Every structure is written in structure tokens, then in C-alpha cells.
Amino acid sequence: MGTFCSVIKFENLQELKRLCHWGPVIALGVIAICSTMAMIDSVLWYWPLHTTGGSVNFIMLINWTVMILYNYFNAMFVGPGFVPLGWKPENSQDSMYLQYCKVCQAYKAPRSHHCRKCNRCVMKMDHHCPWINNCCGYQNHASFTLFLLLAPLGCIHAAFIFVMTMYTQLYNRLSFGWNTVKIDMSAARRDPLPVLPFGLAAFAATLFALGLALGTTIAVGMLFFTQMKIILRNKTSIESWIEEKAKDRIQYYQLDEVFVFPYDMGSQWKNFKQVFTWSGVPEGDGLEWPIREGCHPYSLTIEQLKQKADKRVRSVRYKVIEDYSGACCPLNKGIKTFFTSPCTEEPRIRLQKGEFILATRGLRYWLYGDKILDDSFVEGVSRIRGWFPRNCVEKCPCDAETDQAPDGEKKNR
């Protein structure tokens, strides 16, 4: 009893509130529908348990469900890890290289960023994911990525069960005419008869579950490849955008320097081990990080301070070249844009050709920033903030941006 009480604490019960959100409700609903329908179809109509193959298949379905839910709840409830409130570096002189968070009353540790949803500074923050209603970061990056791997694999297995169930049950029920195809749902396929006949309701439920399984496989599978790409480079989505802005800053001012990402260990295997370990606990403490040879321990935070001091690179100016309706997953902007739509609660911006956008961060096919609602940009002017497709805009040329600087002043190169 004492052990039980020590596990269930007030903080743990508070974390259960994360389930009361549209993201976990939809995610768990999809998992429940696909796994339940796969087990029912398999046992009743496709691969009965009294056969060896049916028993193995049923165990595999249960195994997929357990592993998917284990990593999903790990990612949700373990969380990314937060910078302690009031944190400051051991060496007081190092604080000059760090940004200060007024909300957390602490310095932002290297690779950490403040999340407005969690209202805390998150260690090695990648993004805030609505599907787990939590941030993806230092502590749960491995569990989140494993969930992205296991969910499509489990859905592929379930989709196979759905297809084979419909095929075996409908094979002897189809009759073809000159211009018609008829299905006799009263005909039996298996001898002896199953406990429940494969009727119209079972067919509709199986078809619906098949659609969910295929959609999940494509969407979550693409997210998995995106995550693995940045893990093998030991980056986060935010750090990729900081690196892009660093290169833009160097090119704009024609500086004789090269920005080297400090946390890339030079080997994909070494980068992989920074996230995935046999113990399940990521390397380090989330506050200090091993760096590449020849790099300054605070190379990335120094670059962030440079970008913060430079209004031009704090937000990159883009011109809208193609209208965008503000749809979450636009079909007319390309298949890659459709399937890589950001999984976030942040809104989309409706764009019209000729407008200007100030992008502050982005992904490969999407950007995030502010649409200027005034002819000249000054601090405090009204604006709309959100995501928009990258292929709807083009970066303003340096010369044009120099002549029409946001603050109305000529830039010195």
C-alpha cells in the first residue's frame, strides 16, 4: 500500500489533465479503433485463434498495441524535462552568453527554449506536439520517435488484416453483371460459421478502420522520417531554423566566417546515441552538452544573441507570390506540403499575392511568422501570426530589403 501511494502523487494526478485535450483524444481513439477492429476481424473472420498462425497473429497485434501505448504515454507523462526555475550557470561569467527568461526567472540553458503552451523553459526543445499535449524535448525525444515508428508499423499490420478480411469474406459474395456488381452479404465464407456473421455493419467498420490505418501510416510515417533526419544530425527543428538564419546573416553582411553547428558529433551513430540509449535515459543532464571539437561551448546561444540584436535576421522578410486560403492541409500546394503540415495548435495565415511576411522560424515546407497589416513595420503594429506554406512566398532580395528596410533606415553591410 505504501508503494502504491508513493507512485500516485498529486503531481502525477495533475498530469492526467493532459488527456483532456483534442490531441490525445483523437490519437487514442485512432489507436483503439484500429487495434480493436484488427483483433475482431482476425479472430472472427480471417485467422481464428485455434490455428497456430492465428494465435501468433493475435499476440503480435496485442504486442503492437502495448508498445505503441507505452511509448505514447511515456512521451506524454515523462515530458521533455524543464529547466529548473531560477537556474543559472555555475560560472557566473557564462551568463553573458545566455538569454534570460522573465517568466521562469532563470537563464535559458543551452538548447533550451521557452514554450508558451507549457509556460516553462524546455530542455532541448524540438516542438510542442498537440497529439501528446506536451513538448518533445530532452527526456521524451526517444519515446516520441519510437511512437512515430511503431504506430505506422502497427497500422500496416492492421491494414493487412482489414484487406484480407474483406477479401476472404467478399470473395464468394460478388456477382458481376454487364453493368453492375452485386454483393450478397448473407452468403457465408467460412465453415463452420463464425459466431457473428460478416454483415454490412462489419464491412463498413472494417473499411473505416482501414482508412484510419492507411492515413496514420502515411502521416505519422513522414513525421518519423523527419524526426530521424534531425536526430542523425543531433539537431532540433528550432535549431535547424537558427542555423538557417545564421547562414542568412553571414551572407547578408558578407562576413568572413562560417557557422558550424556545435552539437553535431561528426558521426550519425554518435548523434543517434545522444538520444537513444540501452537504459532509455538520454545522455547528459539536459543543461550541459558535448560539443564538436573546435567549437565554443556557447556557439549556438551566441548566434541566438546576434540574431536577437539584429532586427533583420530576427525575422526574415518574404513576399507572397501565390494565394493561400489558410487551410490546415492544402491539397493545391503540393503533396509534400500536404503531408508535412505542422502538427501544432498554432493557426495558419491566409495569404494574398503581394503581401509581406516576416518569418521567424520554419520547417522544410512550412514557415512561421507574422503577416504585416501595415505598410511599414514598427514594433507594436497590428499583425497576424501563424504558419504558411514555403512555396507560396519568396525571400525578398537583399538589395530590395536594404532599400526598404523595416525600420526605415539604410543597412550597413
Domains, the chain, ranges and CATH?
13-80+139-233 (no CATH), 315-395 (2.30.30.40)
The predicted-structure confidence for 105-120, as pLDDT tens digits, reads as follows 999 999 999 998 899 9
- Are the CB atoms for 349 and 388 separated by under 8 Å? yes
Q: pLDDT at residue 401 above 60?
A: no
Per-residue pLDDT for 211 more than 80? yes
Instruction: Give the model's pLDDT for residue 159.
Output: 96
Identify the pLDDT of residue 244.
Answer: 84
**pLDDT class for 191, splitting at 50, 70, 90?**
low
Express each pLDDT in 48-83 by its tens digit. 888 888 899 999 999 999 999 999 999 999 999 999
- Measured CA to CA, the distance from residue 340 to residue 153 in angstroms comes to 19
Share of the chain above pLDDT 90, in %: 46
Catalytic residues: 129
Does the pLDDT value for residue 5 go beyond 80?
no
Comparison of pLDDT for 401 and 219, the residue scoring more: 219
407 pLDDT above the threshold of 50: no
Residue 146 has pLDDT above 60, yes or no: yes
Note the pLDDT of residue 412.
40
pTM across the whole model:
0.80
Average pLDDT of span 136-164: 95
Mean pLDDT taken over the chain: 83
d(CA 255, CA 296): 19
C-alpha cell, 98: 545566455
How many other CB atoms are there within 10 angstroms of residue 357's CB atom? 24
Per-residue model confidence (pLDDT) at position 383: 65
